[in-house]
Amino acid sequence: MNRVLIAEDLYLLRDGLVHLLQAHGFDVVAAVESGPELLKGLLELRPDVSIVDVRLPPTFTDEGLQASLAARTSVPGLPILVLSQHVEQLYARELLADGSGGIGYLLKDRVFNAEQFIDAVRRVAAGGTAMDPEVIAKLLASNARHEPLAALTPREREVLEAMAEGRSNAAISQRLYLSESAVAKHTANIFAKLGLAPSDDDNRRVLAVLAYLNSRS
């Protein structure tokens, strides 16, 4: 049974997440509402996965992401699933690009059903990634001015966005109506243009791409 920590300042949403997760077999070890409480819980409880809002008390800016980054500095690889209405690009890139452990970023108004959300929580708890395509698009767009990324073809950018969502070559093939060999070729071109070594580990290649984007910001 996965142990979950929830950080959400809105009572109804926080309580709803507790009941939803418990109904799907998760052990909710804490449900907090502020940045300091989140950091304390992450370091003391070391949950299997944490569901974190970006804007928490006391300042309602980026306490959730800052607490998550601080906790992962002390406990590398601590799985974090950000659930927010906002894409905070600076800290999001830093969190996504540190290269260790499960990570995810979902937008609240784009979670359409319980199955989608629970699948994302389980994926992050298992060390994988769960990325909303809109989050990836904003991170990529903010870096479009940099020459290596600008060198990608439109199709390579589509493949890169799908890779960053955590999709395998087979899944990308189905989504973009390409053969798997064509996806493999595009992937090799992307890594070559970005100066990244290809990897068979899908999660590692996603984090490597995001690490590169973060380093160029």
What pLDDT, on a 0 to 100 scale, did the predictor assign at position 216?
Answer: 47
Q: Which two tokens stand for residue 63?
A: 């306490």
Q: Evaluate the CA torsion angle 12, 17, 20, 23 in order and state its sign.
A: negative
Residue 149 placed within a domain: no
- Tell which of 98, 125, 144 closes a domain: 144
Mark whether 211 and 120 lie in a shared domain. Answer: no
Q: Assess whether 165 and 95 both reside in one domain.
A: no
Please check whether residues 100 and 139 belong to one and the same domain: yes
The CATH number covering residue 112 comes to 3.40.50.2300
Size of the chain in residues? 217
Identify whether the C-beta of residue 77 lies closer than 8 Å to the C-beta of residue 195.
no
> Does 10 map to a domain?
yes
Q: Could you count the other beta carbons within 10 Å of the beta carbon of residue 85?
A: 11
Residues 138-186 have pLDDT tens digits of 766 665 555 566 777 888 888 887 877 667 888 899 989 999 999 989 8
CATH code at position 163: 1.10.10.10
β-pair partners for 4 = 28, 49
Tell whether 107 and 183 lie within a shared domain. no
Q: What percent of the chain has pLDDT over 70?
A: 80
Q: Are residues 178 and 133 in the same domain?
A: no
pLDDT digits (tens, 9 = 90+) for 49-106: 999 999 999 988 889 988 998 999 899 889 999 999 988 877 677 777 666 678 899 9
Q: Is the peptide bond before 76 cis (omega within 30 degrees of 0)?
A: no
Q: Domain total for the chain?
A: 2
Structural domain boundaries enclosing 74: 2-144
> Do 86 and 130 sit in the same domain of this protein?
yes
In a domain, 17, yes or no: yes
Measured distance CA(61)–CA(186) in Å, rounded: 38
Both 124 and 20 in a single domain? yes
Nearest to 160 by CA among 65, 144, 145, 112: 144
The residue from 95, 125, 144 where one domain ends is 144
Q: Same domain, yes or no, for 94 and 188? A: no
- 202 and 110 part of one domain: no
State the pLDDT at residue 215. Answer: 45
Which alpha helices (H) appear in 75-179, and where do they start and end?
89-96, 114-125, 133-141, 147-150, 154-164, 169-176
Same domain, residue pair 23 and 52: yes
Which element (helix H / strand E) includes 131? Answer: strand 129-131
CA dihedral angle for residue 190, residue 79, residue 113, residue 169, rounded to 10 degrees: 20
Residue 127 CB neighbour total at 10 angstroms: 14
pLDDT in tens, 11-62: 999 999 999 999 999 999 999 999 999 999 999 999 999 999 999 999 888 8
Q: Do 75 and 129 have their domain in common?
A: yes
Residue 99 lies in a domain: yes
Tell me, yes or no, whether 17 and 68 share the same domain: yes
Out of 110, 144, 178, a domain closes at 144
Nearest to 206 by CA among 98, 59, 70, 107: 98
In a domain, 85, yes or no: yes
Q: What is the mean pLDDT of the chain?
A: 84
